[in-house]
Structures are given as C-alpha cells and as structure tokens.
Amino acid sequence: MATPTLFTRILRRELPGRFVYEDDVCAAFLSIQPLRPGHVLVVPRAEVDHVIDLSDADYDAVCRVGRTVGRALHRAYGSTKVGMMFAGLEVPHVHLHVVPIDSTGDLEFRRANTAATAEELDAALVKVREALRELGPDVAAHVPAEPTS
C-alpha cells in the first residue's frame, strides 16, 4: 500500500487543517503558507497526482468548488480578481489554489507567507467561512461548523 499524501492525511483528519468547505468529492482548506490572506486549496478526495489524470467528474467538482470559494474570497477580501491555478509541484496530489489577488505578482510562490501565525490563519478561516455561508443555504450546508484546527 502506498503512503498517503500530505493532503490525504489532512482530509482524513490525521493532520490538522482549517477546512472551509467539504462534500463527498472534495474539500477546501486554508493554505498554511498563503500567497495572500484567504488563500484556499481545493483538493479532491481521490488521491491523483496530475490534474490531467482526474476523472471528468472530479475535475468538474474541484473547479465548481473553486469557483464557489472564489466568490466567497472576492466577497470577503474585496480583491480585484480571484486567481486560480493548478500547479501541483509541492504535493503529489491534485490541488487548486484559489487566491484573492490584485496583481499577477500575488500568485508568485516565492512571495508566500511561510511564517503565517495561527491567529492570522484563524482570522482568515472565520472570514472565509462567513463569506461562504452568505452565498446561501446550498453552500452553507458544506461549510464545517467545527472550530479552528
């Protein structure tokens, strides 16, 4: 049996994660090294390394959830745009970065906040969850009620 990825371990709650959205196909949680406050990763439950190998249904679900999270981030942070990208070089498990941005430079990994504090991440968690709940009951039903990690 292969060793589970870091993201699989987070999805299984073996490692902590600040979840903002969950359904049967994927989940979204805050990045611990955010490019900007509110940076969320949308991760399929299927452990697949390369985005082009995802099933059509899983790809569609990840993109749909990414768009929903993006709407919430735009609402919460008032950013000019919301950037979304599949990079996948950091962890061998497909993940969509969803980031509130004001310039293309906001998507540069070398500018990530590698020293984000628990307080900063918890504040973003509350803000993003609240904005997701404001999108309506269909979305709110997928926003975890548990406290921070």
Catalytic residue of the set 39, 95, 97, 142: 95
Q: Tokens representing 140?
A: 């709110």
Instruction: Output the CA–CA distances (angstroms, integers) from residue 16 to 92, 105, 120, 126, 137, in the order listed.
Output: 18, 29, 16, 16, 26
Q: Report the alpha-carbon distance of residue 15 to residue 9 in Å, rounded.
A: 6
Q: Tokens representing 1?
A: 């049996």
User: How far is CA 147 from its chain centroid?
Assistant: 17
Nearest to 35 by CA among 121, 111, 139: 111
Confirm whether 95 is a catalytic residue.
yes
Nearest-5° Cα angle at 84, 147 to 14: 35
The secondary structure of residue 12, as a DSSP letter, is: T
**Catalytic site residues?**
95
